[in-house]
Amino acid sequence: MGTGLIDLHVHTTASDGTMTPEEVVFHAARQGLRAIAVTDHDTVDGVEEALEAGSRAGIEVVPGVEIGVDYPGEMHILGYFVDPHNPRLQRGLSLLRRYREERNPRMVEKLRGLGFDISIGEVAEAAGGNVIGRPHIAAVMKQKGYVRDFDEAFELYLGAGKPAYVKKDKLTPREGIELVTAAGGIAVLAHPKYLEVSGDKSLQALIEELVGYGLEGIEVFYTTHTPEETDRYFNLAERNGLLVTGGTDFHGNNKEAIEIGKGAGGLAVSYEFLEKLKRRVGNRT
């Protein structure tokens, strides 16, 4: 049966969420969700714990990942039902974590140059896991009283083009999608609103290109999509015969306004979309 609500875009302490995989799963169960996908940045380290917690909490857990790839604006590829032990995926993700390790100390150095007393050790401690990102830097800055909140940290220092920003090396869209599909996963274009692409025609051309690389779905339902954008991306998915997914990008206290399953309040993603993903995976094996 297709009843029940889901959240297919959730971060844990394995990347830059503030709840452990187990905490996230039990939190989702308390919120009455039927299923969640754990989609940490550049790692599947939280997946096993989440799957195990899911069986105890009585909620379905989908193994996932989120990979940022090189494209104007932001292009993130979600991978669902990836095999977390796939060697090629493991190698690809550790390369991405190495890119982060090159970038993070440089951002911290820039902040020190701006007069802030902050060290990479403090940032690593704030991160806990082995994926360190800008939200962890923001957390230390907030804790030390250098900024009021995360938005201010990104607005003034950490956002693209701001004084402490350092660009991170990335995979190409093709490489990101292929990493997911090589691990048996379904590749989905996350939050398309953040792509810098002008007009329906260019967006359609881009989707066709990505489908050529193996893209199978679009994240139509997303916390910051307006009703008009949701309609637009739904039609785009339909027109291209793509799967439809949805999720909140829950990060715990690192994105305080976002609740699991609900986003900023109005999100409600039906289990039927997960059923279609499962059918696609099932037809492959």
By the rule CB under 5 A, 249 interacts with Fe ion = yes
Query: For residue 268, how many other CB atoms are within 10 A of its CB?
Result: 12
Q: Which does 225 bind (CB under 5 to 8 A by kind): Fe ion, Zn ion, ligand AMP, none?
A: none
Smallest distance from the beta carbon of 23 to ligand AMP, in angstroms? 18
Smallest distance from the beta carbon of 187 to Zn ion, in angstroms? 18
- Output phi, psi for 163, to 5 deg: -60, -25
Strand order in the sheet with 215-222: 243-247, 215-222, 186-189, 75-80, 60-69, 35-38, 5-10, 269-270
Window of 47-55, 60-68, 128-136, 151-159 that interacts with Fe ion by CB under 5 A: 60-68
Smallest distance from the beta carbon of 274 to ligand AMP, in angstroms? 23
* 27 vs 76 by CB, closer to Fe ion: 76
- Tell which positions 145-184 bind ligand AMP, by CB under 6 A: 150-151, 154, 168
By the rule CB under 6 A, 134 interacts with ligand AMP = yes
- State whether the Cα torsion 96-218-187-211 is positive or negative: negative
Q: Which does 76 bind (CB under 5 to 8 A by kind): Zn ion, ligand AMP, Fe ion, none?
A: Fe ion
Detail the DSSP E strand segments found in the chain.
5-10, 35-38, 60-69, 75-80, 186-189, 215-222, 243-247, 269-270
* 39 vs 245 by CB, closer to Zn ion: 39
- Output phi, psi for 221, to 5 deg: -95, 120
By the rule CB under 6 A, 255 interacts with ligand AMP = yes
- State whether the Cα torsion 210-214-218-223 is positive or negative: negative
Contacts of 172 (CB under 8 A, 6+ apart): 69, 70
Interface pick for ligand AMP out of 8, 12, 14, 16 (rule CB under 6 A): 16
* 49 vs 66 by CB, closer to Zn ion: 66
Residues that bind ligand AMP (rule: CB under 6 A) add up to a total of 10
Angle at which helices 87-113 and 134-143 cross, to 10°: 40
- Tell which positions 188-247 bind Fe ion, by CB under 5 A: 190
CA dist list (Å): 272 to 1, 63, 275:
8, 18, 5
User: Is 173:71 a contact under the CB 8 Å cutoff?
Assistant: yes
Q: Which does 151 bind (CB under 5 to 8 A by kind): Zn ion, ligand AMP, Fe ion, none?
A: ligand AMP
Quote the CA–CA distance of 265 and 152 in Å, as a whole number: 23
Smallest distance from the beta carbon of 137 to ligand AMP, in angstroms? 8
Q: Which tokens sit at 61? A: 């857990």
By the rule CB under 6 A, 135 interacts with ligand AMP = yes
Smallest distance from the beta carbon of 249 to Fe ion, in angstroms? 4
Which residues in this chain contact ligand AMP in the complex, by CB under 6 A?
16, 41, 133-135, 150-151, 154, 168, 255
Which residues in this chain contact Fe ion in the complex, by CB under 5 A?
66, 76, 190, 249
Which residues in this chain contact Zn ion in the complex, by CB under 5 A?
11, 16
